[in-house]
Structure 1
Amino acid sequence: MAKVVLSVALPAFKYEALYAGSAKNLVANSLDGRKVQLPLLAFQRFLTHQGINGVFEVEFDDMNKLIGVTRIG
């Protein structure tokens, strides 16, 4: 299984684009420099009035399918 660590700072107004239908994915660079694209819905439980902020560990299976997202900082 592969893991990627991301630092995410997404303002709430940008997350609202998901509900408007104009955004479905979060594109971010991992702390080790890899570019990843993930469904915004995977971060929904971390959404606050300020948006999504923090450091997250994202886990994938051997087929690169998303297993889960965990806040680590």
Structure 2
Amino acid sequence: MAKIIIDVDLSAHQYKEMYRGTKKYLVAQSRDGRKVQLPLSVFQRFVTLKGVYGVFEIEFDENRKLVGIEKKH
């Protein structure tokens, strides 16, 4: 299984775009330079009144399917 680290800086306004249907994915560059596209819904449990901020470790299986996401401290 592969893991990548991404930094997320997504305001509450930007996150709300998902509910309006204008934005469904977060495109980010990992710390090692790879580009990743994730559905915003995977960040739902990390949303605060300010949005989604922090460092996240994303785990994928051998078929590049999302296995898990964890917020790092």
Q: RMSD between aligned alpha carbons?
A: 0.6
Where in structure 1 are there 5+ consecutive unaligned residues?
A: none
In structure 2, the partner of 1:27 is: 27
Quick one: percent identity of the two aligned structures? 53
Q: Take 1:32 and 1:63, find their aligned partners in 2: how far apart are those partners?
A: 19
Residue 33 (structure 1) shift:
1.0
For residues 7-32 of structure 1, what are the alpha-carbon distances to aligned partners after superposition, in whole Å with 9 as ceiling and x for unaligned? 10100000000000011100001011
Q: Take 1:9 and 1:16, find their aligned partners in 2: how far apart are those partners?
A: 14
Per the normalisation by structure 1, the TM-score is 0.97
Where in structure 2 are there 5+ consecutive unaligned residues?
A: none
In structure 2, the partner of 1:62 is: 62
Runs of 4+ in structure 1 deviating by more than 4 angstroms, as ranges, are none
Q: Take 1:41 and 1:68, find their aligned partners in 2: how far apart are those partners?
A: 12
| Corresponding residue pairs, total | 73
